[in-house]
Amino acid sequence: MQLSRRWIYRKNSTSYDLIATSEAPPSPGNLRPEECLVAIRAVSLNYRDLINWRNLAGRKIDGIVPASDGAGEIVAIGSSVTEFQVGDRVSPNFFPTWKSGKFDLAYHQADLGGNLDGMLRDFAVFPEKSLVKIPHGWSFSQAATLPCAALTAWVALVRRGGLQAGETVCVLGTGGVSIFAMQFAKLMGAQVAVTSSNDDKLQRARSLGADLTVNYRTHPEWSKSIWEWTNRHGVDHVIEVGGPGSLEQSMKAVAAEGHIALIGVLTGFGPPTTSLFPLLARNIRLNGIYVGSREDFQSMVRFLDTHQLTPQIDRTFRFEETPKAFEYLESAGHFGKVVIEL
Ligand SMILES: NC(=O)c1ccc[n+]([C@@H]2O[C@H](COP(=O)([O-])OP(=O)(O)OC[C@H]3O[C@@H](n4cnc5c(N)ncnc54)[C@H](OP(=O)(O)O)[C@@H]3O)[C@@H](O)[C@H]2O)c1
């Protein structure tokens, strides 16, 4: 019998090691009626996987399979599955139990690659109501970029942000969430400003349609460039992936009654380094975002099925090279996404 390969987190003295292991694959005969057996073909990494690996949030993940994001093919279905058949190409939702509607704190108890085993394994079993068909014509590697980074950008701009054509958007850095946000915003007729610590990455963002680019390392007061670019009006939306250390500039960059989607913690989990008074003074809408529901994922796929968007995959690693892929993401040399193929 061919074993199913898997990577797991194993606790060390301060954080976690990545350990390659294997087990007997799930048997189709043991599927519950509502379950699907998926052969995973590609996985993508997110900064959140670094948070878990480096134990930055103190999560108890010993023995858990890393990574929320992946795509694969259904190889067996349970007796009551109606939405899928063998051969369908799918991705699981980041929160398998968040089907639709508003977020519920109970969903925290089940996140892939956190409380639940994630995608870095050959085979996995999912309830059908947690799966989504990937966009037509997309490769597994391309689709593996969608569940966390793309869906977060989609929910931030579209469902929670209400982005309209002609509006302006600022995205921070050139990682997975921000590049998807730039691509969605451009396709919806917005103008986009991109910040980065790296001029080559800014050039790459311009080639994808960025309207304004600013190096936040050489211009720590980057909001001034945004302010002038918008004729001293400010941007309508900020994709705030930095957190406490970048919020001051984001509040200076946003328009009165503008929207800040608070998504990330790239500058840490501490309190903001500045007064939050500008939020009141400018009547800013501050939305905390935590990925999205299966219904959000399906609406994003409908958009991707009807618009031309190519996910930006910076580099692809083999399954055996998983620790190298984590190290590469940690080096922050990437633009967009880092993928692991099985
Ligand atoms: N709430 C949610 O649902 C959710 C979902 C996904 C991600 N996140 C969070 O969002 C953040 C981004 O995630 P990701 O997976 O897109 O990360 P990623 O792909 O690893 O992107 C990292 C990039 O962010 C940029 N960056 C780092 N520090 C920065 C700073 N101080 N200011 C501006 N940009 C900075 C850098 O871009 P340059 O090299 O161009 O400078 C870096 O390469 C993380 O904190 C993650 O935990 C949250």
Q: Choose which residue among 48, 111, 219 to substitute to test ligand 1 binding: the one with the highest number of ligand atoms within 8 A of its C-beta.
A: 48
Give me 174's structure tokens. 């050139």
pLDDT in tens, 217-247: 999 999 999 999 999 999 999 999 999 999 9
pLDDT in tens, 2-42: 899 999 999 999 999 999 999 999 999 999 999 999 999 99
pLDDT in tens, 265-314: 999 999 998 999 999 999 999 999 999 999 999 999 999 999 999 999 99
pLDDT of 82 strictly over 80: yes
Which residue, chain included where needed, has tokens 């809408």?
Answer: 285
- Please tell me whether the overall predicted TM-score, pTM, comes out greater than 0.75 for this model: yes
| Residue of 239, 229, 257, 236 whose CA lies nearest to 163 | 236
Are the C-beta atoms of 47 and 264 separated by less than 8 Å?
Answer: yes
Give me 96's structure tokens. 């398998």
The Å distance, Cα 86 to ligand 1 centre, comes to: 36
Predicted local confidence at residue 156, as pLDDT: 98
pLDDT of 186 strictly over 80: yes
Q: Choose which residue among 45, 53, 177 to substitute to test ligand 1 binding: the one with the highest number of ligand atoms within 8 A of its C-beta.
A: 177
Q: Which residue, judged by its Cα, is nearest atom 35 of ligand 1?
A: 173
SS3 (DSSP) at 7: strand
The Å distance, Cα 57 to ligand 1 centre, comes to: 16
The Å distance, Cα 243 to ligand 1 centre, comes to: 9
Radius of gyration of the chain (CA): 20
**Looking at ligand 1, which atom is closest to the CA of residue 336?**
19
| Residue of 272, 214, 231 whose CA lies nearest to 223 | 214
Question: What residues does CATH 3.40.50.720 cover in the chain?
Answer: 161-288
Instruction: Indicate the average pLDDT of the chain.
Output: 97
Predicted local confidence at residue 333, as pLDDT: 97
The Å distance, Cα 23 to ligand 1 centre, comes to: 34
Are the C-beta atoms of 116 and 85 separated by less than 8 Å?
Answer: no
* DSSP states along 215-279: ETTT-TTTHHHHHHHTTSS-EEEEEE-S-TTTHHHHHHHEEEEEEEEE---TT-SS--SS-SHHH
- In angstroms, the CA 62 to CA 94 distance is 19
Are the C-beta atoms of 261 and 160 separated by less than 8 Å?
Answer: yes
pLDDT of 328 strictly over 80: yes
The Å distance, Cα 13 to ligand 1 centre, comes to: 27
**Looking at ligand 1, which atom is closest to the CA of residue 291?**
3
The Å distance, Cα 208 to ligand 1 centre, comes to: 19
**Looking at ligand 1, which atom is closest to the CA of residue 289?**
1
pLDDT of 202 strictly over 90: yes
Predicted local confidence at residue 1, as pLDDT: 67
Question: What residues does CATH 3.90.180.10 cover in the chain?
Answer: 4-148+292-341
* C-alpha of 175 from chain center: 9
The Å distance, Cα 210 to ligand 1 centre, comes to: 18
**Looking at ligand 1, which atom is closest to the CA of residue 243?**
45
Predicted local confidence at residue 2, as pLDDT: 81
pLDDT of 108 strictly over 80: yes
The Å distance, Cα 269 to ligand 1 centre, comes to: 13
Which CATH architecture is the domain 161-288 placed in?
A: 3-Layer(aba) Sandwich (3.40)
Average pLDDT over residues 112-133: 98
Average pLDDT over residues 152-176: 98
CATH 1.10.10.60 fits 4-148+292-341, yes or no: no
The Å distance, Cα 37 to ligand 1 centre, comes to: 32
pLDDT of 56 strictly over 80: yes
| Residue of 317, 312, 147 whose CA lies nearest to 326 | 317
Which protein residues touch ligand 1 with a CB less than 6 Å away? Answer: 46-48, 51, 148-149, 152, 172-177, 195-198, 201, 216, 241-242, 245-246, 263-267, 289-291, 329, 332
How much of the chain, in percent, has pLDDT values that exceed 70?
100
